[in-house]
Amino acid sequence: MIKVLVKSFTKDVSLPSKEDEAAILLQERMQEELSSCPEAKGSLYILTNVRIFGQKRNDMDMLVMGFFEGLTIKSVKTKNVGVVKELNVKSVICNVELKSHSAGKVVRKGTDYFVSYSGVWHNASRQCYEAKFSLWNHLADQLGVKPFICDILWFNGLSEADLSQMRGDMPDNALHRRFSFKDLIEAVLLQASVCKDGAGGFCLDSFSDGEKEFQNIVRLFTVERKPKGLTKVKFELISQKNTETDKLLSDIGKKLTIVTGRAGTGKTVQLLQLAFRLADEERANRCLLLTYNHALVSDIQRLIDYTPMPTRVDGRTVSIKTIHSFFHNLMKEFGIDVKGITPLKQNYEVLYDQSLQRLYTFIVDECEKEDIEALKDMTETSVDWDYLLIDEAQDFSDVEKRILFKLYGPQRLIVADGVDQFMRKGLRQEWGKGVDRSLLQKPKAMSLGRRQKANLVTFVNAFAGLAGLDWRVRPNDDLPGGEIKILPCFKKRSYNELKENCLRNGCENYDILILEPPSQVTVDEQGNRFFSKADVYMNRAKIPLFDGINTQNRATYPTKDQCRVYQYDSCRGLEGWCVVCADFDELIRYKQETYMADENTLGLDKEKAIERSVYLWSLMPLTRPVDTLVITLTDKDSAVGKMLEQLAGKYPDFVEWNF
C-alpha cells in the first residue's frame, strides 16, 4: 500500500498555514485514490513551507514527491511517445505553487498565469518556475543530485470549469482545487519524458539514482537545520525584545529614525531587530533592508533564511537588497533603460548616476503624491514597502536620498549612520538636513562596542591613536578577552588553531572570515574574478573554503561548513569569530595608490590626507572579528608593520608578534 505523508515546516504549530490546510485535504484525497491500487507500494510526501538555502527563492509552498513500486496509470498522453495504455509510475518530484485566488483574480496571458494581490498583478507562472530552479540548484549543491523536477501551479480557488474556461484547449501545468493523482501525473507528463522499462512498457522515473536519491532528499528536508555560532547569536538577538528597540519603535512611522555609531557598536543588529519587530504578526509590515555590500546582503539573507519570516509578495516580510539593485529595479519599473549597466563595467558609476538622474527627474520633479501611489499599485514588488531600513546611510547621495523621501516620506525610513566609514566618493550624507523638526527623531548614538571582545577594542583604539585618527569605541566589560596574532603568512597550522577555537566556542567554519587584497584576485578572459589561492587552500591545505571573490558566488552564501574569503573592499558589515586580515600591508599600499584626490582633505596637505584616509579605511577590516584577529604581513618593516610591532610590545598579554 502507498502511504501519503504530510510534513509541515510552519514554525507556529498553533496556527496552521493555508499551505498546511490545503495539504491535509490533498492528503485525504490522494490516499483515497491510491488505496484503489492495493498491490502498489511506496510513499508520497507532501512537504509544506519548505525552506531552501542560498537560492533566489528561499521558500516553497509545497514539495510533492514520491517513490513507488507496482503503480500503473492507464490511458495517459505522454510528451514523447503519445498515448500510453499503461504507464508505470516509479517516481515523481514537483514544486507546487499554491494560489487560493478566486476566478476574478486569476488571468491567463499567453502561456502565463497572473494573480492579483491588492490590485497588483503578479506573474504566478514565473514565481513557480523560479522556485523550481531554486530547488534544483539546492539539491545539486547539497546532495550532488539533479532529479527531473516539474513545476505545478495549484489554483485552490478555481473549479475544474473555471480553469478549463481560462486555458481552453491548451493543456498546461495548472491544476484546479480537486485535482486527482492522475491529473498531477498528466501535468508532469507535459514536462517530463517517459522511458522504456525492463518489461517492454513505459515508465516515469524522475530520479537517476532510484530510491537512494529519493530517501536522501527526504532526509535533507525532514532533518531540522539550526543556526550555529555567530549566526545563532544573531538569531537570538533579533528575536529578543528590549527597551532600546521599544523606544525607537514608538516613533517609527511618525518621524525619521537615525541610529549612529562606529564599527562594531551594533547598528546592523539594531536595524534587524527593528525590521523583525515591524514585520511580526502583530504589525505585519513589509520591510526592506538596503546596503551597499553584496557580501553583507548574502550574510543577512542567510540569517533571514533561518527564521520563520515569510518572504512573499502578499504579506509581511523582511527582505534585503543592495542599494544599486534597489534603484536598478526602480529604474526598470519606471521605464528607464538600464540594459548594459552592470557593476562589472569600468564606467558603471557614471552610467548609474546618469540613469539615477533621469529617475530623479521623473519621480521628484514630475510626480505628485497621487502619481506615486498609482505607481506603487502598478509595479510588482520594487516599490511597495512599508519601511526602508538603510545600513551605512552616510554614503547615500543627495539624489538617492531625495528619491526615497519622495516615494516614502522621511517617517518611513530608518537609517544607520556609520559616522566615518566611507566607501563611495564624496561628502557624507546628513539625513536630518532639510527635514522638518516635527518629523525628526533625536538620533540615537551608539558608542559601546557590541561586537568585539574588550582586548580587540583596546587594540583597534591604540592602532587608531598611532595613526593619528580621532577614533574611539568604548570596550564592553561584558565581553572580556580576545587576542591578536601577527604572522608572516596564513597556513594550515594557523587554520587548525582557529578551527579548534571555533569548536570550543560552539562556532563553525562559517565564523572564520578571511580577507584578501586585490593582488590575490585573478581575472579571466571573460572578466570573471576569483581568489588566486583558492586551489592551494582547498586542495593542498585542505581548508574548506567558500570563494566569495568568485563572480559566480556574488549573490549567494555558503550552504556547507566552509570558511568565507572576500576582498577587503567587501568586508563592511561582515563579522567573524576569527578574522584573517591577509597581507595587511598590501591593503595599505593599494589604498594609498588608489586614493581619491578629490576627497575632503579637512585642511590637511595631500600626503597627510592620503594617510588619514587610508588608515581610517583600514579600521574597517580590523573591526570585523569578535574573538581573534590574525594579521599577516608581506613586509614586517613596512610603516604599518612597525606600528603593529610597537603595539605587540605594548600589549604582550594578548598580541603575539611571530616574526
**Res. 310: pLDDT tops 90:** no
- The rounded distance, in Å, linking the Cα atoms of 4 and 293 is 45
Nearest to 295 by CA among 87, 571, 615: 571
DSSP 178: T
Measured CA angle at 136 (ends 134, 138), to 5 deg: 70
Write out the three cell numbers for 467.
595613526
Per cent of the chain over pLDDT 70 is: 94
Contact 512, 499 (CB under 8 A): yes
Confidence of residue 597 (pLDDT cuts 50, 70, 90): very low
Q: Any idea which residue has 569569530 for its cell?
A: 577
Catalogue the long-range contacts made by 129-134 (C-beta closer than 8 Å, 24 or more residues apart).
Answer: 130/56, 130/57, 131/57, 131/60, 131/61, 131/95, 131/97, 132/95, 133/56, 134/52, 134/55, 134/56, 134/57, 134/58, 134/60
**Res. 215: pLDDT tops 60:** yes
Question: Could you tell me the residue ranges of all domains in the chain?
Answer: 2-222, 229-446, 454-657
Write out the three cell numbers for 291.
546596503
How high does pLDDT run on average in the chain?
A: 88
Write out the three cell numbers for 354.
546618469
- Nearest-10 crossing angle of helices 454-466, 639-650: 130
Q: What is the pLDDT of residues 69-81, one digit of tens each?
A: 999 999 999 988 8
- The rounded distance, in Å, linking the Cα atoms of 195 and 536 is 44
Measured CA angle at 190 (ends 189, 193), to 5 deg: 55
DSSP string, 390-454: ESSGGG--HHHHHHHHHHH-GGGEEEEE-SS---SSSPPP-TTTT--GGGBPPPEEE-B-SSS-H
Write out the three cell numbers for 471.
577614533
DSSP string, 311-375: --TTS-EEEEEEHHHHHHHHHHHTT---TT--TTSTTHHHHHHHHHHHHHIIIIII--HHHHHHH
Report the greatest alpha carbon distance in the chain. Answer: 88
- The rounded distance, in Å, linking the Cα atoms of 524 and 530 is 9
Query: Is 229-446's fold the same as 454-657's?
Result: yes
pTM, to two decimals: 0.80
**Res. 602: pLDDT tops 70:** no
What pLDDT is recorded for position 598? 45
Confidence of residue 257 (pLDDT cuts 50, 70, 90): very high
Contact 450, 266 (CB under 8 A): yes
- Domain made up of 229-446: CATH architecture: 3-Layer(aba) Sandwich (3.40)
Residues pairing with 51 in the sheet:
59
Residues pairing with 622 in the sheet:
none
Lowest mean pLDDT among 12-16, 81-85, 152-156, 409-413: 12-16
Q: What is the mean pLDDT of residues 268-287?
A: 90
Q: What is the mean pLDDT of residues 348-368?
A: 88
CATH: 1.10.8, 3.40.50, 3.60.21, 1.10.3470. Which one for 454-657?
A: 3.40.50
DSSP string, 384-398: --SEEEESSGGG--H
- The rounded distance, in Å, linking the Cα atoms of 155 and 565 is 44
What pLDDT is recorded for position 109? 93
Write out the three cell numbers for 609.
590626507
First-last CA distance in the chain:
70
Q: What is the mean pLDDT of residues 182-199?
A: 91
Q: What is the pLDDT of residues 501-559, one digit of tens each?
A: 999 999 999 999 999 999 999 998 888 899 999 999 999 999 999 999 998 888 788 88
Cβ neighbours of 556 (radius 10 Å): 20
Nearest to 464 by CA among 643, 249, 209, 624: 643
482 φ, ψ to 5°? 105, 145
Lowest mean pLDDT among 418-422, 442-446, 464-468: 418-422
DSSP 194: P
**Res. 270: pLDDT tops 50:** yes
Contact 15, 518 (CB under 8 A): no
DSSP string, 53-114: -SSS--EEEEEEEEEEES-EEEEEEETTTEEEEEEEE-EEEEEEEEE---GGGEEEETTEEE
- The rounded distance, in Å, linking the Cα atoms of 18 and 576 is 38
Q: How far is CA 103 from the centre of its chain?
A: 34
Q: Which residues fall within 8 angstroms of residue 645, CB to CB, at 6 or more apart?
A: 486, 636, 657, 659
**Res. 247: pLDDT tops 90:** no
**Res. 103: pLDDT tops 70:** yes
**Res. 339: pLDDT tops 90:** no
What pLDDT is recorded for position 311? 64
Q: Which residue has the higher pLDDT, 335 or 589?
A: 589
